[in-house]
Amino acid sequence: MKRLTPDLLVIGAGSGGLSVAAGAAQMGADVILLEGHRMGGDCLNYGCVPSKALLSAARRAAVLRQGAAPGTGGDPVAEYTAAMAHVAEVIARIAPHDSVERFESLGVRVIRAWGRFISPREVVAGDHVIRPRRVVIATGAAPLVPDIPGLAEVPYLTNETLFDLRHPPEHLLIAGGGPVGLEMAQAHLRLGVPVTVIEGDRLLGREDPELAALLSDRLRAEGAEIVEAARIARVAGTAGDIHVETEAGATYGGSHLLLALGRRARTDGLGLEAAGITANGRGIRTDARLRTGNRRVYAIGDVTGGAQFTHVAGYQAGVVLRAALFALPSRARSDHIPRVTYTDPEIAQVGMTEAEARAAHGARLEVHRVDLAQNDRAVAEGLGPGMIKLMAVRGRPVGVSIAGPQAGELIGIWALALARGMKLSAIAGLVLPYPTLGELNKRVAGAYFSARLFDNETVKRLVRAVQHMLP
């Protein structure tokens, strides 16, 4: 066994681990990075990148099909194969950025092995025993496979196997109507695959119901069968002939089943007990500084069971770098973290939803909304439906929800406003190019002031008085 004593050991080369390792090595720390499987983790190999690439290929296929004369559209099998080839190509194009070669060129020692704590200060990986000054656990999460009767006997897909398909499913059953389920539902619908989504509660349960409804209407219009408030009680069947039964006794059949029922923190085999680190059902427990129960060990990203996004893992990497490299106390916030579901319409959120803001601020809350149809660019481009909703308290935003094209781009300015505690006047006072979708942001901020300015007797009296005095 080789013994190594780096400043920092990072376990897991996904979104969180790669950010910590690159930052620490470039700032002069001696860093070892462990990866037991694929460099790049879920986001590159099984998550963000393949899902967005598939959505993009499917959108193009649907547009081409719409433009084609009846009966002359593309061959659906060839379209599906080409879409999945596009996914593989996009992954291959981004992979060098997350590769062993790139990280070694940054000064990181990469060990391709699974890491396991054998004591509070030591980790074994392959034929190495590593005793670092600090450890960052960034081992991510795996698809949740609940204990549903019959599921273990039935072939099913997850986000780790879906992108290996090269032939379109005859009928895709999707268990779960969260972001994974709905992004993959729309991608498959647009590739001509019949889709049924079975959701135990309501679609995109975390999002504003009004915005989520715009998406479910769209998916239904594109041909999806969507069943809500239908918890899956039993699964049966064989390859190509799967049946899902709900608690209410309804049965839905399809050729393939995709599980999109949430995620489970990857802590198996990490030896957390030996390190004195506790995990609960959601993941590794950390404090606001992302420290685990072991003061030398931090945990970031999906393994902590918090908001599971690449940009959250990256943000938390920055928090840990300040603490581990500079010994600066640094706390992770969550009130300014945006999230986006990349369907059409996109659903974006930062800060509180309307329901959360009402519960937190009661009568002090003001809600303003602007419909996408009120935006000239959207009208000119024939875009829609969509809307922006602003939750404001005393002249400052506490949350923004956007549904529509480029909602993920539009939310950026609100992420800045919430992060910096900016006033709405800063957004309302912006001069933006006309005609752009970005004007929606200015318009909804302006709606906060227009009631105060235009329906205000004092303002009217003041204007009349000034006008009398003017020569």
Ligand X SMILES: NC(=O)c1ccc[n+]([C@@H]2O[C@H](COP(=O)([O-])OP(=O)(O)OC[C@H]3O[C@@H](n4cnc5c(N)ncnc54)[C@H](O)[C@@H]3O)[C@@H](O)[C@H]2O)c1
Binding site for ligand X (CB under 6 A): 146, 175-181, 183, 198-201, 205, 231-232, 260-263, 308-309, 339-342
**Per rule CB under 6 A, is residue 310 in the interface with ligand FAD?**
yes
| Residue 35 binding result from ligand X, ligand FAD, none, given CB thresholds of 5 to 8 Å by partner type | ligand FAD
CA distance 421 to 303: 29
Binding mask 30-49 for ligand FAD (x = CB under 6 A): ----xxxxx--xxx---xx-
Whichever of 300 and 392 has its CB closer to ligand FAD, that residue is: 300
**Per rule CB under 6 A, is residue 6 in the interface with ligand FAD?**
no
Whichever of 37 and 59 has its CB closer to ligand FAD, that residue is: 37
Q: How many CB atoms lie within 10 A of CB 133?
A: 14
Whichever of 298 and 448 has its CB closer to ligand FAD, that residue is: 298
Q: Where does residue 232 rank: exposed (0-12), middle (13-18), buried (19+ CB within 10 A)?
A: buried
- Find the binder of ligand FAD among 80, 117, 252, 309 (CB under 6 A): 309
* Minimum distance, C-beta of residue 258 to ligand X, in the bound complex (Å): 10
Q: Cβ distance 144 to 265 under 8 Å? A: no
Instruction: Tell me the residue number closest to ligand X, measured at CB.
Output: 178
**Per rule CB under 6 A, is residue 180 in the interface with ligand FAD?**
yes
| Residue 34 binding result from ligand FAD, ligand X, none, given CB thresholds of 5 to 8 Å by partner type | ligand FAD
Binding mask 254-293 for ligand FAD (x = CB under 6 A): ------------x--xx-----------------------
* Minimum distance, C-beta of residue 80 to ligand X, in the bound complex (Å): 21
Q: Are strands 128-130 and 134-137 parallel, antiparallel or unpaired?
A: unpaired
Q: How many helices (H) and strands (E) does the chain have?
A: 16, 23
CA distance 247 to 194: 23
Structure tokens at 1: 């066994």
* Minimum distance, C-beta of residue 133 to ligand FAD, in the bound complex (Å): 19
| Residue 395 binding result from ligand FAD, ligand X, none, given CB thresholds of 5 to 8 Å by partner type | none
Contacts of 419 (CB under 8 A, 6+ apart): 333, 336
Angle between helices 209-221 and 179-190 (to 10 degrees): 30
Whichever of 134 and 264 has its CB closer to ligand X, that residue is: 264
* Minimum distance, C-beta of residue 310 to ligand X, in the bound complex (Å): 8
The phi and psi torsions of 157 (rounded to 5 degrees) equal: -105, 155
| Residue 200 binding result from ligand X, ligand FAD, none, given CB thresholds of 5 to 8 Å by partner type | ligand X
CA distance 38 to 396: 43
Q: How many CB atoms lie within 10 A of CB 323?
A: 17
In 3D space, the residue among 331, 302, 308, 311 whose CA is nearest the CA of residue 319 turns out to be: 331
Q: Quick check: helix, strand or coil at residue 259? A: strand
DSSP code at position 157: B
Alpha helices in 254-352 (DSSP H): 272-275, 310-326
Q: Cβ distance 343 to 203 under 8 Å? A: no
Whichever of 16 and 23 has its CB closer to ligand FAD, that residue is: 16
* Minimum distance, C-beta of residue 396 to ligand FAD, in the bound complex (Å): 26
| Residue 36 binding result from ligand FAD, ligand X, none, given CB thresholds of 5 to 8 Å by partner type | ligand FAD
**Per rule CB under 6 A, is residue 122 in the interface with ligand FAD?**
no
Whichever of 264 and 389 has its CB closer to ligand X, that residue is: 264
Q: Cβ distance 299 to 144 under 8 Å? A: no
Whichever of 50 and 438 has its CB closer to ligand X, that residue is: 50
Q: Cβ distance 82 to 57 under 8 Å? A: yes
CA distance 404 to 69: 28
Instruction: Tell me the residue number closest to ligand FAD, measured at CB.
Output: 14
**Per rule CB under 6 A, is residue 405 in the interface with ligand FAD?**
no
**Number of residues near ligand FAD (by CB under 6 A):** 38
| Residue 139 binding result from ligand X, ligand FAD, none, given CB thresholds of 5 to 8 Å by partner type | ligand FAD
* Minimum distance, C-beta of residue 425 to ligand FAD, in the bound complex (Å): 31
- Find the binder of ligand FAD among 6, 23, 132, 140 (CB under 6 A): 140
- Find the binder of ligand FAD among 15, 292, 294, 349 (CB under 6 A): 15
**Per rule CB under 6 A, is residue 23 in the interface with ligand FAD?**
no
Q: Which residues pair with 299 in a beta bridge?
A: 137
SS (H, E, C) 328-388: CCCCCCCCCCCEEECCCCEEEEEECCHHHHHHHHHHHEEEEEEEHHHCHHHHHHCCCCCEE
Q: What is the largest CA-CA distance in the chain?
A: 92
* Site residues (vs ligand FAD, CB under 6 A): 11-17, 34-38, 41-43, 47-48, 51-52, 114-115, 138-140, 159, 180, 266, 269-270, 301-303, 308-311, 313, 342
